[in-house]
Amino acid sequence: MDTKARIIPIANALKPVTPLDDAPAPQGGSLADRRGRRVRDLRISVTDRCNFRCVYCMPKAVFDHDYAFLPRTDLLSFEEIVRVARIFVDQGVEKIRITGGEPLLRKHIENLIEQLAKLPVELTLTTNGSLLVKKARALKDAGLHRVTVSLDGLDDAVFKRMNDVDYPVSDVLDGIEAAAAAGLAPIKVNCVVKRGSNDDQILPMARHFRHSGHILRFIEFMDVGSSNGWRMDEVLPSAEVVARIGAEFPLQAIDANYPGEVAGRWRYADGGGEIGVISSVTQAFCASCTRIRLSTEGQLYTCLFAQGGHDLRSLLRQGTTDQALESLIARVWRGRDDRYSEIRSAATELPTGAAKIEMSYIGG
């Protein structure tokens, strides 16, 4: 049987990778894009593989045993990742998040963490939690500051339907506790809400994580990628999440921790802690988006919904100097004009055969 082509190269082929001619040249100092947004957060995807098949991210029908995941030689090495990260830190990046695919599947990930931890940044990682019992202590010892763990329900049947690999809730909960015991706190727990699939889990999740010290965050189901069959009627607006929880436990809005924080914050009036809602669909936050993404194979993306990246890996492997890389990165950011979520309705119309980049590849 033919091996399935990856979706990504098709998307990349749509656009030249360095459309920089009309971008202002770098002039030193901290970087602002065309909309005045600074580069602050770097998300690094370390693998496009995962041991889950979440229905909204890597549906089995697409990501099956014929799917062509990246060969090992295409992956950026840890040395290459650290080199790029260092340049970004020089350009103003203050936060680095390791992601994927499932980042804990990347062999010796703690070695990468150890090197990145030497940079003056907040260093975090997003994981499905399945390997945390095994790895939390080593990650902490390597210098990781915090983890975000994804969990889409407390009911085993619902969660198993969401991850589609029969993975039980209890193992993720054990992973969260192992991370807390290792000191990777405060832990954020991300729950993607799909109306009609797991929205009955909102209240059980809220009840479970109140008073736990962990911050539960509900994410609107996004139209990222081209394989998850996204439909607007499956998006449960964050306002409804807040209303449902607020009806049982009164909530008060609280200020963002910093300008540009993606989650709207709410606290339980009785002191039970806080929750967050990420309203990527109903309340786009492009105006304050300071994120840039480095894919597993070294493509740089200025938006989660980008249809083309900038190929850093070739440059890294051609002996390009740090100065030239710095200059390219600065030009990419200065040329950035993305605001997909703000203009979603028009932009979801793609040319025939076009594909948006998958979350598991670009890194959530």
Shortest spacing between CB 147 and ligand SF4, in angstroms: 13
Nearest to 334 by CA among 109, 2, 24: 24
Helices (runs of H) and strands (runs of E) counted in the chain: 12, 12
> Which residue, chain included where needed, has tokens 């589609």?
164
Contact call for residue 218 and ligand SAM (CB under 6 A) = no
> Which residue, chain included where needed, has tokens 């370390």?
46
H/E stretch holding 114 = helix 109-116
Q: Which of 150, 198, 296, 302 binds ligand SAM (CB under 6 A)?
A: 150
Residues from 192 through 231 that contact ligand SF4 (CB under 6 A): none
Nearest to 279 by CA among 322, 318, 240: 240
Is residue 24 reached through a cis peptide bond, with omega within 30 degrees of 0 on the bond before it?
no
Contact call for residue 52 and ligand SF4 (CB under 6 A) = yes
Contact call for residue 307 and ligand SAM (CB under 6 A) = no
At how many degrees (to 10) do helices 169-182 and 132-142 cross? 20
> Which residue, chain included where needed, has tokens 């249809």?
307
| Structure tokens belonging to residue 149 | 């763990």
Contact call for residue 219 and ligand SAM (CB under 6 A) = yes
Contact call for residue 127 and ligand SAM (CB under 6 A) = yes
Contact 94, 87 (CB under 8 A): no
- Quote the DSSP letter at residue 348: T
Name beta bridge partners: 189: 149, 216
Contact 364, 99 (CB under 8 A): yes
Residue 340 touches which member of ligand SF4, ligand SAM, none, C-beta under 5-8 Å by kind: ligand SF4
Residue 55 touches which member of ligand SAM, ligand SF4, none, C-beta under 5-8 Å by kind: none
Residue 221 touches which member of ligand SF4, ligand SAM, none, C-beta under 5-8 Å by kind: ligand SAM
Shortest spacing between CB 197 and ligand SF4, in angstroms: 14
Q: Which of 38, 360, 361, 362 binds ligand SF4 (CB under 6 A)?
A: 360
The stretch among 46-54, 230-238, 247-255, 320-328 that binds ligand SF4 (CB under 6 A) is 46-54
Shortest spacing between CB 54 and ligand SAM, in angstroms: 6
Contact 51, 354 (CB under 8 A): no
**CA–CA separation, 221 vs 40, rounded Å?**
25
For residue 18, give Cα distances in angstroms to 29, 84, 222, 278, 328.
Answer: 22, 17, 27, 31, 9
Shortest spacing between CB 270 and ligand SAM, in angstroms: 28
Shortest spacing between CB 59 and ligand SF4, in angstroms: 9
Contact 136, 184 (CB under 8 A): yes
Residue (133 or 286) nearer to ligand SF4, CB: 286
Phi and psi torsions of 272, nearest 5°: -80, 5
Contact call for residue 197 and ligand SAM (CB under 6 A) = no
| Structure tokens belonging to residue 60 | 């089995």
Residue (115 or 288) nearer to ligand SF4, CB: 288
Q: Which of 43, 87, 100, 299 binds ligand SF4 (CB under 6 A)?
A: 100
**CA–CA separation, 31 vs 25, rounded Å?**
11
Contact call for residue 67 and ligand SF4 (CB under 6 A) = no
The stretch among 222-230, 243-251, 254-262, 306-314 that binds ligand SAM (CB under 6 A) is 222-230
Residue 222 touches which member of ligand SAM, ligand SF4, none, C-beta under 5-8 Å by kind: ligand SAM
The stretch among 64-72, 96-104, 155-163, 172-180 that binds ligand SAM (CB under 6 A) is 96-104
Contact call for residue 100 and ligand SAM (CB under 6 A) = yes
Q: Which of 41, 48, 102, 114 binds ligand SAM (CB under 6 A)?
A: 102
Query: Which residue ranges make up the site for ligand SF4 (CB under 6 A)?
Result: 50, 52-54, 57-58, 100-102, 128, 150, 285-286, 289, 291, 303-305, 338-341, 360
